[in-house]
């Protein structure tokens, strides 16, 4: 019986798509692998907070860790509802200046839970072609019909809205604000303008790569664009720039109440560790003061975007800290990543089916604890490989 699985795996190996868990060690912004110390250009720790030991020490100094629960031992609906969850939700609701905020165990939980709860058979989901796997899974789990619009193609979205607006009681537009493979951004005002043409269209935005990075207070691209209020379901995650675990939706109170009553990944899963939520609370309070890190990250991003663009002579899609270096075919992408690793830069090749075929790439992600010199060194090595 197990033969079946072994053969499937062998097939993956043949296609060069076999996955294994890498044996790595972390040391600040560096990573050790195969006895090699490399600067981590594949991290989601965009503000450099996860590797900031002084910040951790500050947190531990002001938190009575011995008294804190490491586990909630239960769903929040049963005995797992610790006061720190509601405190964080209340602080976040006021930071975002919205009625309500609700926490989840992860972005994956949020995205596979919210859409199936809110979207029934009378709902149509219109999702950007490139949304994250967790959103795709959420769409699949829901009973709603769905269609994909071409990536960031608002004219296409408008056509789909016009064509379907009379057929459905509700339509939910689903997008990310910063896309994970090209680092390009969504024009949130375009989506808000489209949504506002209809009484029954709602907007769902996933800010996983934007929380902490964009906006005066680090609340994400919606803050930068000044349209937090117009987004019905504003989702973000704590696992990336926030150096923690978990996720949230910022929404109206009625939506929060509805999710508490109906959302299965919220009802049937043990809530986050209270200690981790305390850490998120600490970080959310410090987030507005991290403008220096955000500006530095922005400078590094522009530097790398321009450098890669000069090198490839291709249009650079990125407007963020995620910068793709698109080589096209698998073999040269893998070879280039290997070469960069030998030179001390931990960069990973991304191949189909993760990205469209013919667009294999190295996906650089920058963190605020890097220096302009380090980015320049990376660009020098890239130029040498041309
Ligand atoms: C990382 C990511 C998620 C998943 O969040 P986790 O908290 O890691 O489960 C969801 N959406 C997007 C766009 C992401 O990049």
- Among 239, 243, 269, the mutation site with the greatest number of ligand 1 atoms within 8 A of its Cβ is 239
Taking the C-alpha atoms of residue 58 and residue 5, their distance in angstroms, rounded to an integer, is 48
Q: Is 207 in the pocket of ligand 1 (CB under 6 A)?
A: no
What is residue 15's predicted lDDT score, i.e. its pLDDT? Answer: 85
Q: Is 247 in the pocket of ligand 1 (CB under 6 A)?
A: yes
Question: 198 pLDDT band (50/70/90 cuts)?
Answer: very high
Question: 386 pLDDT band (50/70/90 cuts)?
Answer: very low
Residue 64: active-site member:
no
Q: Is 147 helix (H, G, I), strand (E, B) or coil?
A: strand
The tokens for 168 are 């459905």
In this predicted model, what pLDDT tens digit does every residue of 47-72 receive, in sequence order?
Answer: 999 999 999 999 999 999 888 999 99
In this predicted model, what pLDDT tens digit does every residue of 295-307 receive, in sequence order?
Answer: 999 999 999 999 9
Q: Is the dihedral of CA 60, 63, 66, 68 positive or negative?
A: negative
Taking the C-alpha atoms of residue 165 and residue 124, their distance in angstroms, rounded to an integer, is 9
Residue 229: active-site member:
no
Tell me: pLDDT of 385 over 70. no
Residue 132: active-site member:
yes
pTM passes above 0.95? yes
Q: Is 52 in the pocket of ligand 1 (CB under 6 A)?
A: no
The mean predicted confidence, pLDDT, of the chain is 96
Q: Is 237 in the pocket of ligand 1 (CB under 6 A)?
A: yes
**Rounded to the nearest whole angstrom, what is the distance from the C-alpha of residue 210 to the centroid of ligand 1?**
11
Tell me: pLDDT of 89 over 60. yes
What is residue 384's predicted lDDT score, i.e. its pLDDT? Answer: 85
In this predicted model, what pLDDT tens digit does every residue of 351-377 receive, in sequence order?
Answer: 988 898 999 999 999 999 999 999 999
Helices in 176-290 by DSSP H: which ranges?
A: 188-195, 221-225, 253-262, 264-267, 274-286
**Catalytic choice (195, 209, 224, 256):** 209
**Catalytic choice (52, 89, 128, 176):** 176
Please answer whether residues 86 and 95 qualify as being in contact, where contact means their C-beta atoms are separated by less than 8 angstroms.
no
In this predicted model, what pLDDT tens digit does every residue of 95-111 receive, in sequence order?
Answer: 999 999 999 999 999 99
Taking the C-alpha atoms of residue 201 and residue 203, their distance in angstroms, rounded to an integer, is 7
Mean pLDDT over residues 178-192, rounded? 97
Q: What percent of the chain has pLDDT over 70?
A: 99
Residue 180: active-site member:
yes
What is residue 354's predicted lDDT score, i.e. its pLDDT? Answer: 87
**Catalytic choice (43, 44, 217, 336):** 44
Instruction: Tell me which residue has tokens 């197990």.
Output: 2
CA distances 232 to 129, 280, 337, Å, are 20, 23, 40
**Rounded to the nearest whole angstrom, what is the distance from the C-alpha of residue 381 to the centroid of ligand 1?**
31
């Amino acid at each position: 019986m197990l033969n079946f699985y072994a053969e499937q795996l062998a097939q993956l190996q043949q296609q060069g798509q076999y996955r294994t868990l890498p044996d790595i060690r972390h040391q600040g912004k560096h990573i050790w692998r195969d006895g090699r110390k490399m600067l981590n250009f594949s991290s989601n720790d965009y503000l450099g907070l996860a590797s900031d030991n002084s910040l951790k020490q500050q947190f531990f100094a002001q938190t009575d860790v011995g008294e804190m629960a490491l586990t909630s031992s239960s769903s929040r609906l049963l005995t797992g509802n610790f006061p720190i969850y509601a405190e964080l939700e209340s602080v976040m609701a006021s930071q975002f200046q919205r009625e309500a905020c609700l926490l989840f165990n992860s972005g994956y939980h949020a995205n596979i839970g919210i859409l199936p709860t809110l979207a029934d058979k009378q709902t149509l989901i219109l999702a950007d072609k490139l949304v994250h796997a967790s959103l795709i899974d959420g769409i699949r789990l829901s009973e709603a019909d769905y269609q994909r619009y071409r990536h960031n193609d608002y004219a296409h979205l408008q056509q789909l809205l016009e064509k379907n607006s009379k057929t459905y009681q509700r339509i939910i537009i689903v997008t990310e604000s910063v896309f994970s493979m090209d680092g390009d951004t969504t024009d949130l005002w375009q989506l808000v303008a489209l949504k506002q043409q209809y009484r029954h269209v709602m907007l769902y935005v996933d800010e996983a790569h934007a929380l902490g990075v964009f906006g005066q207070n680090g609340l994400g691209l919606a803050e930068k664009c000044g349209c937090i209020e117009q987004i019905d379901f504003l989702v973000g995650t704590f696992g990336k720039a926030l150096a923690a675990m978990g996720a949230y939706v910022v929404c109206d109170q009625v939506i929060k109440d509805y999710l508490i009553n109906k959302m299965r990944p919220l009802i049937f899963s043990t809530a986050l560790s209270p200690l981790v939520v305390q850490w998120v609370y600490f970080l959310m309070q410090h987030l507005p003061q991290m403008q220096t890190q955000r500006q530095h990250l922005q400078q590094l991003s522009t530097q790398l975007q321009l450098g890669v663009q000069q090198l490839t002579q291709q249009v650079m899609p990125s407007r963020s800290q995620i910068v793709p270096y698109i080589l096209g075919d698998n073999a040269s992408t893998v070879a280039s990543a290997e070469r960069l690793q030998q030179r001390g830069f931990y960069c990973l090749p991304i191949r189909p089916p993760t990205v469209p075929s013919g667009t294999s790439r190295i996906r650089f992600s920058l963190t605020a604890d890097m220096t302009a010199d380090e980015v320049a060194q990376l660009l020098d090595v890239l130029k040498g490989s041309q």
